[in-house]
């Protein structure tokens, strides 16, 4: 029988893997043969390497579209090899860099193509992917905020929704996320990161930085509304299953989630991590949100209580659309058809695009 950590990972995140690009058969076969959490990263890396091999073969043969598809799948599988595998940082980082490598290799061959960019931030920089819809000279742009254990390499399925509606996407690894997690720790005041991103967008001539939307998933569902409360250049915001106050739900979080937060907040102890967790709060902040807000929560969420979305909706001062999915789990990944296209349509409307 698999150990408790493997069971927890499968229990909490199975729908997310499949809805974000892991083939169902791969998920079933990889997790079926796992007995120990120590095996997790290597097992998923082997699965990812198989997809990477198919992608590289297609690329060598000149089948660029097929290559992009397989390499994107490889990147997602490498990502899930590392996503909460903080027990062995060296092994985790190796899998992470393979995810980055595969996604970067896929970018020029995607439809539409992607551009890997670096966005200056304080004494460092955020790694990001910019994609622009075809045939649009200067499209509105959706800035996509990652969660605790997500990264830009996982976001292809979400990016595609916005791109299909004429919106550009800027998916970035902020503090404690993706490529930034090793050098820039988690911070509650995520508006500083979003300010740097919007400043950078304003220097581009191929996107419309006067029409910026924010999107955030899981802990990013806190980050995006938090940033929207302070960064008034943001015209609309989507938050998916974000917490109202991280410290209030700390004790009920899965062990893997708490330990991942400790590592990515660069904390030496659980108590130190909780002190940082107390800075992730919308108390006295949600009332500053004046832009249109679209919130999604699942009543079966075992990580973030769905009532947190209600609380944000109640306190925000702008127009709010609250979607509570009775049979939805965390981020309602088990019921994506009940909110993904709908939220993308909503964002396109908020940023001034016609219905398509």
**Cβ–Cβ < 8 Å for 156, 231:** no
Q: How many domains does the chain have?
A: 2
Residues contacting residue 136 through CB under 8 Å, at least 6 positions apart:
166, 168
Q: Using one digit for the tens of pLDDT, what is the confidence trace for 232-278?
A: 999 999 999 999 999 999 999 999 999 999 999 999 999 999 999 99
Q: Using one digit for the tens of pLDDT, what is the confidence trace for 110-160?
A: 999 999 999 999 999 999 999 999 999 999 999 999 999 999 999 999 999
Same domain, 176 and 98: no
Domain boundary among 111, 133, 159: 111
Q: What is the pTM of this model?
A: 0.97
In the three-class reduction of DSSP (H, G, I as helix; E, B as strand; rest coil), residue 173 is classed as coil
- Partnered with residue 171 across adjacent β-strands are 129, 144
Q: Using one digit for the tens of pLDDT, what is the confidence trace for 184-235?
A: 999 999 999 999 999 999 999 999 999 999 999 999 999 999 999 999 999 9
Same domain, 281 and 153: yes
Query: What's 75's domain CATH number?
Result: 1.20.1440.110
pLDDT at 32: 95
Same domain, 136 and 176: yes
Question: Which stretches of 93-153 are assigned E, i.e. beta strand?
Answer: 114-121, 124-131, 139-145
Same domain, 281 and 344: yes
pLDDT at 24: 97
Domain boundary among 90, 111, 132: 111
The whole domain housing 226 covers 113-356
Query: What's 141's domain CATH number?
Result: 3.40.50.1820
Same domain, 196 and 296: yes
Same domain, 7 and 123: no
Q: How far apart are CA 168 and CA 115, in angstroms?
A: 12
Same domain, 23 and 82: yes
Same domain, 132 and 279: yes
pLDDT at 1: 79
Domain boundary among 93, 111, 129: 111
Rama region for 51: left / alpha / beta (φ>0; ψ in -120 to 50; rest): alpha
Same domain, 61 and 187: no
């Amino acid at each position: 029988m698999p150990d408790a950590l493997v069971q927890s990972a499968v229990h909490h995140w199975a729908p997310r893997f499949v809805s974000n690009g892991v083939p169902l058969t791969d998920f079933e076969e990889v997790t079926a043969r796992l007995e120990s959490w120590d095996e997790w990263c290597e097992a998923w890396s082997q699965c990812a390497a198989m997809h990477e091999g198919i992608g590289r073969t297609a690329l060598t043969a000149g089948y660029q579209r097929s290559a992009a598809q397989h390499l994107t799948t490889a990147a997602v599988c490498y990502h899930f090899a590392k996503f909460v595998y903080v027990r062995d940082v060296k092994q985790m980082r190796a899998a992470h860099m393979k995810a980055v490598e595969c996604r970067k290799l896929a970018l020029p061959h995607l439809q539409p193509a992607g551009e890997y960019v670096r966005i200056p931030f304080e004494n460092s920089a955020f790694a990001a992917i910019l994609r622009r819809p075809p045939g649009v000279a200067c499209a509105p742009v959706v800035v996509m905020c990652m969660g605790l254990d997500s990264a830009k390499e996982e976001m292809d399925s979400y990016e595609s929704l916005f791109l299909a509606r004429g919106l550009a996407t800027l998916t970035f690894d902020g503090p404690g996320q993706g490529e930034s997690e090793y050098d820039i720790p988690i911070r509650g005041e995520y508006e500083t990161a979003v300010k740097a991103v919007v400043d950078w967008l304003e220097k581009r001539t191929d996107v419309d930085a006067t029409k910026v939307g924010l999107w955030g998933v899981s802990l990013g569902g806190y980050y995006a509304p938090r940033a929207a409360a302070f960064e008034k250049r943001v015209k609309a915001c989507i938050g998916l299953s974000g917490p109202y106050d991280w410290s209030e739900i700390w004790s009920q979080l899965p062990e893997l989630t708490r330990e991942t937060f400790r590592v990515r907040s660069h904390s030496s102890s659980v108590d130190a991590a909780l002190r940082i967790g107390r800075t992730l709060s919308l108390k006295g902040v949600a009332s500053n949100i004046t832009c249109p807000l679209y919130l999604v929560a699942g009543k079966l969420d075992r990580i973030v209580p769905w009532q947190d979305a209600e609380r944000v909706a109640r306190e925000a001062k702008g127009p709010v659309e609250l979607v509570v999915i009775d049979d939805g789990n965390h981020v309602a990944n088990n019921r994506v058809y009940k909110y993904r296209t709908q939220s993308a349509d909503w964002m396109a409307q908020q940023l001034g695009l016609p219905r398509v």
